Amino acid sequence: MGYLISPTELEVRRERCRPAVESIASVERQYEPRCGLCQSEHSCVIADRDRYGLRLRTALCTNCGLVYMLDRLTQEGYSEFYRGGAYRRFTSSFAGSVATIDDLQADQAAYAKNLIAFLDGRVPRRPNVTLLDVGGSSGQVAKEVATHFGVDATVLDPSEEEIEAAQRLGLRGVVGSAETWHTQARFDVVLLCRTVEHLFDLRATMSKIRCYLRPGGLFYCDFLDYMELCRITGAPQTVSKVDHCQWLTLETAPAILRAMGFEIVSLHVAPKPPFTGLLLRPCEEEAVAPLAWNDVQERIRELQQILSDWQRVSGLRASLRQRVGRKVKRMAKGAVGR
């Protein structure tokens, strides 16, 4: 089986990220011994480093199934990480290319088309409808949605540069994070697009979003499926990263969201997997039922199999390169002898 990132390729990318990693070496970190959702201390460590090479452990909560960072930056550390542009330096170094504001907005415009198609008929067509895009980056998604549905949009994002870009689009832009921003305003639509993994405090932020919604309001949230990403990309260390504090999966999302007071109305399979979009509405909170041990074993064994396959495929490729190299050398020696 092939994976998008081989062990060799991962080390090449980590080397490119070294200056970015060193730039946050002094940023304070904290250890989270318990799951931020269910507060269980029972977990399985599935990666001891993130994709950038930072020694940050990723754990699978064996009680509720949430994947979360055992080690991470502090709330203040993350605020500076996003505000000062370190986040984009990390992602650009890992990808080997620099994403400009224009690049971000082009990507967001394509994303927005599919989101609009999913939301069409659900967003109310009346005056004074308001929208809040949490983690809305440079604002293109909010702009496209606002224009299509004729709503008044606000973008909340911790990056000063990206909020300035959103303001240039004519949107109300607020520099801040979901955890630290406070407002008395209420909204008909709240978006959390490609952001839930970045939340520092998942439960507290979801509680805030419930408060931000007007009665009958819509909440759209999408997530990256951690297990599916491993199946596509490679071992967990190719997926985990410093800026993603927790991850959902298709199997765990319904119960986890219900524990935070949201039920799934409709699912949206995004054109670029493994994103899954969810249309949600508030409901009564329900405690997460502990996972059956068989389910926990199944997930751990799958991750072990992915790791084994990932390492074996890389080893086979390295062996093939060595054999080809030896053959080329023999051919070269033969040519010299002639």
DSSP, collapsed to helix, strand or coil, labels residue 207 as helix
| Closest of 13, 21, 9 to residue 242, by C-alpha | 21
What's the whole-number mean pLDDT along residues 194-209? 95
3 state SS of 61: strand
Q: Does domain 7-298 have CATH number 2.40.50.100?
A: no
> What pTM value is reported for the model?
0.88
Q: What are phi and psi of 118, to 5 degrees?
A: -70, -40
Domain boundaries, the chain: 7-298
SS3 state of residue 268: strand
User: Average pLDDT over the chain, rounded to whole?
Assistant: 91
What does the pLDDT look like over 184-198, one tens digit per residue? Answer: 999 999 999 999 999
Q: What is the pLDDT of residues 89-138, one digit of tens each?
A: 999 999 999 889 999 899 999 999 999 999 999 999 899 999 999 999 99
* Phi, then psi, of 299 in degrees rounded to 5: -70, -40
Q: Which of 240, 197, 224 is nearest to 10 (CA)?
A: 240
pLDDT digits (tens, 9 = 90+) for 17-50: 999 999 999 999 999 999 999 999 999 999 999 9
pLDDT (tens digit per residue) in 219-275: 999 999 999 999 999 999 999 999 999 999 999 999 999 999 999 999 998 766 678
